[in-house]
Structure 1
Amino acid sequence: MNFDELKPKVVQLLSQSTVEREDKLKNLCQFLSDSVSYYNWVGFYFANHEARTLHLGPYVGAETDHTVIPFGKGICGQVAESNSNFVVPDVSAQDNYIACSFTVKSEIVVPLFVNGVNIGQIDIDSHVIDPFTEKDERFLEYVNQEVAKLF
Protein backbone atom coordinates (compact mmCIF):
# COMPACT_ATOMS: atom_id res chain seq x y z
CA MET A 1 0.00 0.00 0.00
CA ASN A 2 1.38 3.34 -1.09
CA PHE A 3 0.01 6.45 0.63
CA ASP A 4 0.86 8.61 -2.40
CA GLU A 5 -1.54 6.50 -4.46
CA LEU A 6 -4.35 7.18 -1.96
CA LYS A 7 -3.99 10.98 -2.00
CA PRO A 8 -5.86 11.63 -5.30
CA LYS A 9 -8.81 9.55 -4.06
CA VAL A 10 -8.88 11.56 -0.81
CA VAL A 11 -9.09 14.77 -2.85
CA GLN A 12 -11.77 13.27 -5.10
CA LEU A 13 -13.91 12.16 -2.14
CA LEU A 14 -13.69 15.54 -0.44
CA SER A 15 -14.33 17.62 -3.55
CA GLN A 16 -17.67 16.10 -4.56
CA SER A 17 -19.90 19.17 -4.79
CA THR A 18 -23.17 17.26 -4.41
CA VAL A 19 -22.20 15.53 -1.14
CA GLU A 20 -22.72 17.11 2.30
CA ARG A 21 -19.67 17.61 4.54
CA GLU A 22 -20.71 14.95 7.08
CA ASP A 23 -21.15 12.41 4.29
CA LYS A 24 -17.79 13.35 2.76
CA LEU A 25 -16.12 12.72 6.11
CA LYS A 26 -17.95 9.41 6.58
CA ASN A 27 -16.98 8.34 3.05
CA LEU A 28 -13.39 9.33 3.77
CA CYS A 29 -13.38 7.24 6.96
CA GLN A 30 -14.71 4.26 5.00
CA PHE A 31 -12.13 4.76 2.25
CA LEU A 32 -9.24 4.89 4.74
CA SER A 33 -10.53 1.85 6.61
CA ASP A 34 -10.91 -0.10 3.35
CA SER A 35 -7.55 1.01 1.95
CA VAL A 36 -5.20 0.50 4.90
CA SER A 37 -5.43 -2.98 6.40
CA TYR A 38 -4.47 -1.91 9.93
CA TYR A 39 -6.87 1.08 10.07
CA ASN A 40 -9.61 -0.76 11.98
CA TRP A 41 -11.50 2.24 13.42
CA VAL A 42 -11.35 5.61 11.68
CA GLY A 43 -13.17 8.68 12.90
CA PHE A 44 -13.18 12.37 13.60
CA TYR A 45 -13.64 14.25 16.86
CA PHE A 46 -14.44 17.96 16.83
CA ALA A 47 -13.58 20.44 19.57
CA ASN A 48 -15.91 22.60 21.59
CA HIS A 49 -13.35 25.02 22.98
CA GLU A 50 -15.76 26.73 25.38
CA ALA A 51 -16.68 23.43 27.06
CA ARG A 52 -13.17 22.00 26.55
CA THR A 53 -14.62 18.81 25.10
CA LEU A 54 -14.29 16.76 21.94
CA HIS A 55 -17.40 15.46 20.21
CA LEU A 56 -17.53 12.39 18.01
CA GLY A 57 -18.14 13.11 14.36
CA PRO A 58 -18.36 10.74 11.41
CA TYR A 59 -16.59 7.42 11.91
CA VAL A 60 -16.36 3.86 10.63
CA GLY A 61 -15.74 0.87 12.87
CA ALA A 62 -17.08 -0.58 16.08
CA GLU A 63 -19.63 1.43 18.04
CA THR A 64 -18.09 3.56 20.78
CA ASP A 65 -19.43 4.98 24.03
CA HIS A 66 -16.85 7.76 23.81
CA THR A 67 -18.96 10.39 22.09
CA VAL A 68 -17.71 13.24 24.32
CA ILE A 69 -14.11 13.37 25.59
CA PRO A 70 -12.82 16.08 27.94
CA PHE A 71 -9.65 17.89 26.87
CA GLY A 72 -6.68 16.17 28.51
CA LYS A 73 -8.42 12.78 28.86
CA GLY A 74 -7.17 9.86 26.79
CA ILE A 75 -5.10 10.17 23.66
CA CYS A 76 -7.63 12.36 21.85
CA GLY A 77 -8.01 14.70 24.80
CA GLN A 78 -4.25 15.04 25.09
CA VAL A 79 -3.96 15.95 21.39
CA ALA A 80 -6.66 18.61 21.90
CA GLU A 81 -4.28 20.27 24.39
CA SER A 82 -0.88 19.54 22.84
CA ASN A 83 -1.80 20.31 19.20
CA SER A 84 0.64 17.54 18.26
CA ASN A 85 0.35 14.11 16.69
CA PHE A 86 0.22 11.26 19.18
CA VAL A 87 1.19 7.74 18.17
CA VAL A 88 0.59 4.96 20.69
CA PRO A 89 2.38 1.76 19.59
CA ASP A 90 0.80 -0.31 22.40
CA VAL A 91 -2.24 1.07 24.22
CA SER A 92 -1.70 -1.31 27.15
CA ALA A 93 1.49 0.61 28.00
CA GLN A 94 -0.27 4.00 28.03
CA ASP A 95 -1.39 5.44 31.38
CA ASN A 96 -3.90 8.04 30.18
CA TYR A 97 -5.76 5.83 27.70
CA ILE A 98 -9.52 5.44 27.27
CA ALA A 99 -10.12 1.85 26.23
CA CYS A 100 -12.65 1.58 23.43
CA SER A 101 -12.40 -2.16 22.92
CA PHE A 102 -10.14 -5.01 23.97
CA THR A 103 -9.36 -5.49 20.26
CA VAL A 104 -7.63 -2.10 20.03
CA LYS A 105 -3.86 -2.54 20.32
CA SER A 106 -2.55 0.81 19.00
CA GLU A 107 -3.76 4.27 18.09
CA ILE A 108 -2.74 7.35 16.11
CA VAL A 109 -4.34 10.77 16.52
CA VAL A 110 -3.51 13.72 14.27
CA PRO A 111 -4.91 17.20 14.96
CA LEU A 112 -7.02 19.04 12.40
CA PHE A 113 -6.21 22.73 12.02
CA VAL A 114 -8.33 25.38 10.33
CA ASN A 115 -6.75 28.83 10.16
CA GLY A 116 -4.24 27.79 12.81
CA VAL A 117 -6.89 26.58 15.27
CA ASN A 118 -7.10 22.94 16.34
CA ILE A 119 -10.77 22.24 15.57
CA GLY A 120 -10.55 18.48 16.01
CA GLN A 121 -8.66 15.41 14.97
CA ILE A 122 -8.62 12.21 13.04
CA ASP A 123 -8.39 9.19 15.31
CA ILE A 124 -7.41 5.74 14.09
CA ASP A 125 -7.35 2.55 16.12
CA SER A 126 -5.63 -0.64 15.03
CA HIS A 127 -5.97 -4.26 16.10
CA VAL A 128 -2.21 -4.60 15.50
CA ILE A 129 0.57 -3.58 17.89
CA ASP A 130 2.87 -0.85 16.54
CA PRO A 131 1.76 -0.59 12.89
CA PHE A 132 1.97 3.21 12.56
CA THR A 133 5.05 4.82 11.05
CA GLU A 134 6.11 8.34 10.15
CA LYS A 135 4.53 7.66 6.74
CA ASP A 136 1.13 7.28 8.44
CA GLU A 137 1.66 10.58 10.25
CA ARG A 138 2.59 12.46 7.07
CA PHE A 139 -0.32 10.90 5.16
CA LEU A 140 -2.85 11.75 7.88
CA GLU A 141 -1.49 15.30 8.08
CA TYR A 142 -2.15 15.52 4.34
CA VAL A 143 -5.65 14.09 4.82
CA ASN A 144 -6.39 16.70 7.49
CA GLN A 145 -5.06 19.52 5.27
CA GLU A 146 -7.60 18.43 2.68
CA VAL A 147 -10.39 18.05 5.26
CA ALA A 148 -9.65 21.56 6.57
CA LYS A 149 -10.74 22.95 3.19
CA LEU A 150 -14.30 21.87 4.03
CA PHE A 151 -14.49 24.31 6.95
Structure 2
Amino acid sequence: MFHTSNYNGTKEQQYGLVKKQLAALIEGEPNRIANLSNASALLGQFLDRINWVGFYLVEGSELVLGPFQGLPACVRIPFGKGVCGTAISERKTIRVENVNQFPGHIACDAASQSEIVIPLIKNDTVIGVLDIDSPELNRFDEQDEKELNDFVQVLLKHL
Protein backbone atom coordinates (compact mmCIF):
# COMPACT_ATOMS: atom_id res chain seq x y z
CA MET A 1 0.00 0.00 0.00
CA PHE A 2 1.24 3.46 0.92
CA HIS A 3 3.05 2.54 4.14
CA THR A 4 5.21 5.34 5.42
CA SER A 5 7.78 5.17 8.19
CA ASN A 6 6.42 8.25 9.99
CA TYR A 7 5.26 6.02 12.83
CA ASN A 8 7.94 5.51 15.46
CA GLY A 9 8.02 3.87 18.88
CA THR A 10 6.44 0.66 20.05
CA LYS A 11 3.57 -0.96 18.20
CA GLU A 12 1.24 0.31 20.95
CA GLN A 13 2.54 3.89 20.57
CA GLN A 14 2.16 3.70 16.78
CA TYR A 15 -1.45 2.53 17.07
CA GLY A 16 -2.05 5.27 19.64
CA LEU A 17 -0.92 7.86 17.11
CA VAL A 18 -3.08 6.45 14.31
CA LYS A 19 -6.13 6.47 16.61
CA LYS A 20 -5.47 10.15 17.46
CA GLN A 21 -5.13 10.91 13.74
CA LEU A 22 -8.44 9.17 13.06
CA ALA A 23 -10.23 11.16 15.76
CA ALA A 24 -8.80 14.41 14.37
CA LEU A 25 -9.82 13.50 10.79
CA ILE A 26 -13.43 12.64 11.58
CA GLU A 27 -14.22 14.94 14.52
CA GLY A 28 -17.35 16.92 13.73
CA GLU A 29 -17.90 15.27 10.33
CA PRO A 30 -21.34 13.62 10.14
CA ASN A 31 -20.94 11.95 6.73
CA ARG A 32 -20.44 8.21 7.16
CA ILE A 33 -18.88 7.61 3.73
CA ALA A 34 -16.37 10.43 4.22
CA ASN A 35 -15.37 9.08 7.64
CA LEU A 36 -15.06 5.48 6.41
CA SER A 37 -13.03 6.67 3.42
CA ASN A 38 -10.57 8.55 5.61
CA ALA A 39 -10.39 5.63 8.06
CA SER A 40 -9.50 3.17 5.28
CA ALA A 41 -6.95 5.57 3.78
CA LEU A 42 -5.37 6.12 7.20
CA LEU A 43 -5.06 2.37 7.84
CA GLY A 44 -3.76 1.83 4.30
CA GLN A 45 -1.00 4.33 5.00
CA PHE A 46 -0.28 3.07 8.53
CA LEU A 47 -0.31 -0.73 8.20
CA ASP A 48 2.55 -2.45 6.44
CA ARG A 49 2.39 -5.86 4.75
CA ILE A 50 -1.29 -5.57 3.78
CA ASN A 51 -2.90 -5.67 0.33
CA TRP A 52 -6.48 -4.56 1.12
CA VAL A 53 -8.21 -2.56 3.83
CA GLY A 54 -11.77 -1.36 3.84
CA PHE A 55 -15.34 -1.61 4.93
CA TYR A 56 -18.39 -3.65 4.04
CA LEU A 57 -21.73 -2.20 5.13
CA VAL A 58 -24.93 -4.01 6.07
CA GLU A 59 -27.68 -3.79 3.48
CA GLY A 60 -30.57 -6.17 4.08
CA SER A 61 -29.17 -9.64 4.74
CA GLU A 62 -25.80 -9.06 3.13
CA LEU A 63 -22.69 -6.92 3.26
CA VAL A 64 -22.07 -4.45 0.45
CA LEU A 65 -18.67 -3.04 -0.45
CA GLY A 66 -17.92 0.34 1.10
CA PRO A 67 -14.87 2.64 1.10
CA PHE A 68 -11.56 0.77 0.75
CA GLN A 69 -7.92 0.87 -0.34
CA GLY A 70 -6.63 -1.87 -2.65
CA LEU A 71 -7.64 -3.83 -5.72
CA PRO A 72 -11.29 -4.08 -6.81
CA ALA A 73 -13.17 -6.39 -4.44
CA CYS A 74 -16.22 -8.59 -4.10
CA VAL A 75 -19.25 -6.30 -4.01
CA ARG A 76 -21.75 -8.39 -2.01
CA ILE A 77 -21.16 -10.96 0.73
CA PRO A 78 -24.10 -12.86 2.30
CA PHE A 79 -24.25 -13.06 6.10
CA GLY A 80 -22.56 -16.24 7.28
CA LYS A 81 -20.35 -16.57 4.17
CA GLY A 82 -16.58 -16.12 4.22
CA VAL A 83 -14.68 -14.35 7.00
CA CYS A 84 -16.68 -11.10 6.72
CA GLY A 85 -20.08 -12.77 6.71
CA THR A 86 -19.07 -15.02 9.62
CA ALA A 87 -17.84 -12.05 11.68
CA ILE A 88 -21.24 -10.38 11.14
CA SER A 89 -23.22 -13.51 12.02
CA GLU A 90 -21.16 -14.19 15.15
CA ARG A 91 -20.83 -10.47 16.06
CA LYS A 92 -17.14 -10.92 16.89
CA THR A 93 -13.68 -10.19 15.53
CA ILE A 94 -12.21 -13.02 13.47
CA ARG A 95 -8.46 -13.25 12.92
CA VAL A 96 -7.42 -15.84 10.32
CA GLU A 97 -3.77 -16.93 10.12
CA ASN A 98 -4.28 -18.76 6.81
CA VAL A 99 -7.36 -17.91 4.75
CA ASN A 100 -6.93 -21.08 2.68
CA GLN A 101 -7.83 -23.07 5.81
CA PHE A 102 -10.96 -21.01 6.59
CA PRO A 103 -14.12 -22.93 5.58
CA GLY A 104 -15.96 -21.07 2.82
CA HIS A 105 -13.34 -18.35 2.43
CA ILE A 106 -14.24 -15.95 -0.39
CA ALA A 107 -11.09 -15.18 -2.37
CA CYS A 108 -11.52 -11.71 -3.83
CA ASP A 109 -7.72 -11.41 -4.21
CA ALA A 110 -5.75 -14.63 -4.66
CA ALA A 111 -2.70 -12.90 -3.10
CA SER A 112 -4.41 -12.66 0.30
CA GLN A 113 -3.06 -15.17 2.82
CA SER A 114 -4.28 -13.85 6.19
CA GLU A 115 -7.14 -11.62 7.26
CA ILE A 116 -8.73 -9.84 10.19
CA VAL A 117 -12.37 -8.75 10.26
CA ILE A 118 -13.87 -6.53 12.97
CA PRO A 119 -17.63 -5.99 13.17
CA LEU A 120 -18.90 -2.41 13.46
CA ILE A 121 -21.56 -2.53 16.18
CA LYS A 122 -23.25 0.69 17.27
CA ASN A 123 -26.12 0.78 19.80
CA ASP A 124 -26.25 -3.05 19.59
CA THR A 125 -26.83 -2.86 15.81
CA VAL A 126 -24.28 -4.33 13.38
CA ILE A 127 -23.69 -1.74 10.66
CA GLY A 128 -20.75 -3.34 8.85
CA VAL A 129 -17.21 -4.69 9.16
CA LEU A 130 -13.64 -3.51 8.86
CA ASP A 131 -11.79 -6.03 6.68
CA ILE A 132 -7.99 -6.15 6.33
CA ASP A 133 -6.12 -8.65 4.14
CA SER A 134 -2.41 -9.44 3.98
CA PRO A 135 -0.32 -11.33 1.42
CA GLU A 136 1.58 -12.87 4.39
CA LEU A 137 0.47 -15.81 6.50
CA ASN A 138 -0.22 -14.95 10.15
CA ARG A 139 0.22 -11.18 9.59
CA PHE A 140 -2.10 -10.11 12.44
CA ASP A 141 -1.37 -10.88 16.09
CA GLU A 142 -3.30 -10.42 19.35
CA GLN A 143 -2.01 -6.86 19.73
CA ASP A 144 -3.16 -5.94 16.20
CA GLU A 145 -6.56 -7.38 17.08
CA LYS A 146 -6.83 -5.35 20.29
CA GLU A 147 -5.59 -2.11 18.71
CA LEU A 148 -7.79 -2.44 15.62
CA ASN A 149 -10.81 -3.07 17.85
CA ASP A 150 -9.90 0.15 19.69
CA PHE A 151 -9.55 1.94 16.31
CA VAL A 152 -13.07 0.78 15.39
CA GLN A 153 -14.40 2.12 18.72
CA VAL A 154 -12.95 5.57 17.92
CA LEU A 155 -14.57 5.37 14.48
CA LEU A 156 -17.96 4.29 15.83
CA LYS A 157 -18.19 7.38 18.04
CA HIS A 158 -18.40 9.41 14.82
CA LEU A 159 -20.65 7.20 12.68
**TM-score of the superposition, structure 2-length normalised?**
0.86
Give the unaligned 5+ runs of structure 2: 1-10
Give the AA of the match of 2:41. Answer: Q
2:43 equivalent to 1:32:
yes
2:55 partner SS: strand
Shift of 1:40: 2.2
Shift of 1:128: 1.0
1:57 paired residue among 58, 66, 71 = 66
Give the AA of the match of 1:129. Answer: L
Shift of 1:92: 1.3
Instruction: Give aligned pairs, total.
Output: 147
Structure 2 partner of 1:5: 17
Kindly indicate whether the alpha-carbon contact (under 8 Å) linking 2:19 and 2:154 is maintained by their aligned counterparts in 1: no
Aligned-residue Cα RMSD (Å) equals 1.5
1:12 partner SS: helix
Kindly indicate whether the alpha-carbon contact (under 8 Å) linking 1:47 and 1:120 is maintained by their aligned counterparts in 2: yes
Give the AA of the match of 2:56. Answer: Y
Give the AA of the match of 1:55. Answer: V
Quote the Cα distance in structure 2 between the aligned partners of 1:120 and 1:24: 14
Structure 2 partner of 1:15: 27
Instruction: Kindly report which structure 2 residues correspond to 1:1-151, keeping only aligned pairs within 5 A, or say none.
Output: 1=11, 2-15=14-27, 17=29, 20-48=31-59, 51-64=60-73, 66-151=74-159
Kindly indicate whether the alpha-carbon contact (under 8 Å) linking 1:33 and 1:42 is maintained by their aligned counterparts in 2: yes
Kindly indicate whether the alpha-carbon contact (under 8 Å) linking 2:22 and 2:155 is maintained by their aligned counterparts in 1: no
Shift of 1:119: 1.3
Kindly indicate whether the alpha-carbon contact (under 8 Å) linking 1:113 and 1:144 is maintained by their aligned counterparts in 2: no
- Runs of 4+ in structure 1 displaced over 6 angstroms? none
**TM-score of the superposition, structure 1-length normalised?**
0.90
Give the unaligned 5+ runs of structure 1: none
Q: Given the superposition, is the C-alpha separation of residues 40 and 120 from structure 1 closer, same or farther in structure 2, using an over 3 Å criterion?
A: same
